[in-house]
Amino acid sequence: IILEYVQGGEPKTRSIDLLDLRPDTDAIALVEEIQKEEPLITASCKEHIIHLVQRLQEKLGEKEDHKFYLFKVLKAHVLPLTNVAFNKSGSRFITGSYDRTCKVWDTTSGEELRTLEGHGNVVYVIAFNNPYGDKIATGSFDKTCKLWSTETGKCYHTFRGHSAEI
């Protein structure tokens, strides 16, 4: 579970690990235990968290045989991809490439929304800012990182240095 909150005017997130959750786990007891350790879970949101845990348990208990199939083939870049990243909602994704660009895509339609151009070498790391997804960060072998607008494709800022890390 990822908790989102605002502290000092800044949006923040905190993760709660539920890797040991099983369909037969007592959801109420689990949430009460988490609540003892996590001050962000107040009495007012406790019922909502219990409901979320119970929904996760239902999913864990499903015995569906999931079938995967080829949904779409996209001709993304002239040169090979280096990576792909989805925004938090999964509605958009970005691709980085050896062709020195990053492309923004609509996940459902497969439509290319825009191309982010400006790096002088391979784009080897890409990321959306979470939870909003309104900015994209790219890192390149040209020793720069760039911060872009997801909506307009405009580059806000270029960071230069010996190691461009996001």
42/29 Cα distance (integer angstroms) = 15
Residue 159's φ and ψ, nearest 5 degrees, are -105, 130
Read off the pLDDT band of 156 (50, 70, 90): very high
Read off the pLDDT band of 103 (50, 70, 90): very high
The predicted model scores a pTM of: 0.61
Domain that holds residue 38: 2-61
Judgement on whether residues 152 and 88 belong to the same structural domain of the protein? yes
What token pair was written down for 40? 């962000």
Domain assignment present for 74: no
Which among 79, 80, 104, 100 is positioned nearest to 91, based on CA atoms?
104
Domain assignment present for 68: no
pLDDT of residue 70: 83
Q: Which of 36-45, 103-112, 114-123, 157-166 has the lowest mean pLDDT?
A: 157-166
Judgement on whether residues 91 and 139 belong to the same structural domain of the protein? yes
Domain count, the chain: 2
| Contact by Cβ (8 Å): 2, 11 | no
Mean pLDDT of 133-151: 95
pLDDT in tens, 42-98: 888 889 899 999 999 988 888 777 777 888 888 889 999 999 999 998 999 999 999
pLDDT of residue 162: 56
Domain assignment present for 120: yes
Domain assignment present for 165: no
pLDDT in tens, 107-116: 999 999 999 9
Read off the pLDDT band of 164 (50, 70, 90): very low
